[in-house]
A and B are shown apart, each in its own frame.
Chain A
C-alpha cells in the first residue's frame, strides 16, 4: 500500500465567498471555483476542496462543529487502490467510483477516499543559504530575499485530527493502511507517516472527547524559512488572525505558523520538516510547551531604530 499523503481535504462550509477570499490570500490557486465551491491548489496540485455544507455530493457531516467532510489520500498506482480495497473491504463497505478511486470510512467515522495521486512533480530549488565553512549556495550577486518575493504553498503537508480513541485510530492506520508512528507526544498523541512518504508526519492525532471529533489543523509546506516568514507576515498584514507562531517544532523540526480560518480549522504554513526512513526509532515526550517548540515568536509591525 503505497500511500503518498493527502491529495485533498474536502470541507462543507457555510460561506463559499469567505473561504474563497481566505484560501486565495493563503496563497492557493482557485481552480474551477464557482459559488458552489471548487478546488484551491498548491503548486503541486494538492489542496483544499470546498463545497456548500448542504451539497448532496459530500459525505455526511460528523455530528460536531468540524467542517471536514473527507480526506483524500493519493497513492502510487491502481494496484495500491486494489490492495486498500481488499484490506478494508474485509470489514466495511468500500465504494468504487467510475474513475477508479475508492471511498470508505476509518474506524472512527472519518470519511476517506483513495485515488492514484493527482499531484504534479515539483522541480523547484529549496531555499538557498550561505554559511561560513560551507560552500555558498547562492552565486555571487544572487539575492536571498526581496520584498515581493514569491511565497506560495508548495504541497499539502499534513492533517491533524481530534479523535476520541487514540489507540483504535492509530491501530487502524498502522495495521490496516501501513502507516508508521514516527514519534509520540504523550498526552496528545502519535505522529504518523504513510509508507510512501518520508516526511516526519502526514498525520497526527490528538486525543479529545467525542464532541470535539474533527480536524484540528492542516498544513502546507513552504520552500524554506524565508518564504514561510514572508507568507505569514503577509497574512497578518492583510488582517488575518494568527493563532500560534512563528516558531519551530521539536518533533519534525518544522517551522510552524498557524492561522484561524473560516473553514473551522487552523491553516499552518510549515517549512523544513525532517525526513525519516525505516531505521528511525520513535521518540516519546510528554506534551507541553517545552516539548512542542524550540522557540516561539510573535509578529510585530515593521519598525526602524533611526538615529
Chain B
C-alpha cells in the first residue's frame, strides 16, 4: 500500500498515516533522501501511546529526532532507538517501507503487521 510520494515530504519532515489493519498510525519520516517508518506507539507504556503533540508533529523542535510528546523522549530517526527519556534503550517498532520506481513510499509487507493482538 502506498502512503505518499517521497517528494511529498521535505527532508526532515514526518507525517502520520492511518493504515488499514494497523491499530496505531504509521509515522513516515524523510531523512537524507531516505524514508523511515515506525509505529506511532511510544514504547514507554505497554501497548504504546501516540507520540505527536499535534497532527504530524512528531519531531523535536530542532528537527534532529523523532520525539514522544508525552514525556519528551527522543528517538534516533534512522534506527528508532530511544536515546533520551523514559524508554531509554528501547526502540520504536520499525515498519518496513520501500520507495517504488515511481517515487511512492510503500509499506513493504502488511503481513508483518504487529497489530493483530
B32 contacts partner chain A, Cβ-Cβ < 8 Å: no
Q: Find out whether the CB atom of B71 lies under 8 angstroms from the CB atom of A14.
A: no
Which of these binds chain A: B2-10, B46-54, B99-107, B109-117? Answer: B46-54
Complex CA distance for A15 and B64, rounded to whole angstroms: 12
If A13-B61, A262-B61 touch, whether A212 touches B53 (CB-CB below 8 Å) is no
* Residues of chain B with a CB closer than 8 A to A261's CB: 53, 69
If A22-B53, A239-B54 touch, whether A264 touches B69 (CB-CB below 8 Å) is yes
Within 8 A of B (CB), among A229-270: 238-241, 243, 259-262, 264-266
* Residues of chain A with a CB closer than 8 A to B72's CB: 65-67, 214, 264-265
Number of B positions contacting A (CB below 8 A): 23
Q: Which residue of A lies closest to B69 (CB)?
A: A260
* Residues of chain A with a CB closer than 8 A to B55's CB: 239, 241
* Residues of chain A with a CB closer than 8 A to B91's CB: none
A18 contacts partner chain B, Cβ-Cβ < 8 Å: yes
Interface secondary structure of A, over-half rule: loop
Within 8 A of B (CB), among A9-64: 13-15, 18, 22, 64
Q: Find out whether the CB atom of B60 lies under 8 angstroms from the CB atom of A243.
A: no
A211 contacts partner chain B, Cβ-Cβ < 8 Å: yes
* Residues of chain A with a CB closer than 8 A to B62's CB: 14-15
Q: Find out whether the CB atom of B54 lies under 8 angstroms from the CB atom of A212.
A: no
Kindly identify which residue among B50, B54, B67, B71 contacts A22, using a CB–CB cutoff of 8 Å: B54
If A65-B86, A243-B49 touch, whether A265 touches B61 (CB-CB below 8 Å) is no
Q: Find out whether the CB atom of B50 lies under 8 angstroms from the CB atom of A241.
A: yes
Q: Find out whether the CB atom of B54 lies under 8 angstroms from the CB atom of A265.
A: no
A8 contacts partner chain B, Cβ-Cβ < 8 Å: no
28 contacts between A and B (CB under 8 A): A13-B61, A14-B60, A14-B62, A15-B61, A18-B53, A18-B61, A65-B85, A65-B86, A66-B71, A212-B71, A212-B85, A214-B72, A240-B53, A240-B54, A241-B54, A241-B55, A241-B69, A243-B70, A259-B53, A260-B50, A260-B52, A260-B70, A261-B53, A262-B53, A262-B57, A262-B69, A265-B72, A266-B71
Enumerate chain B interface residues (CB-CB to A < 8 A).
Answer: 49-55, 57, 60-62, 67-74, 84-86, 88
Enumerate chain A interface residues (CB-CB to B < 8 A).
Answer: 13-15, 18, 22, 64-67, 162, 208, 211-212, 214, 216, 238-241, 243, 259-262, 264-266
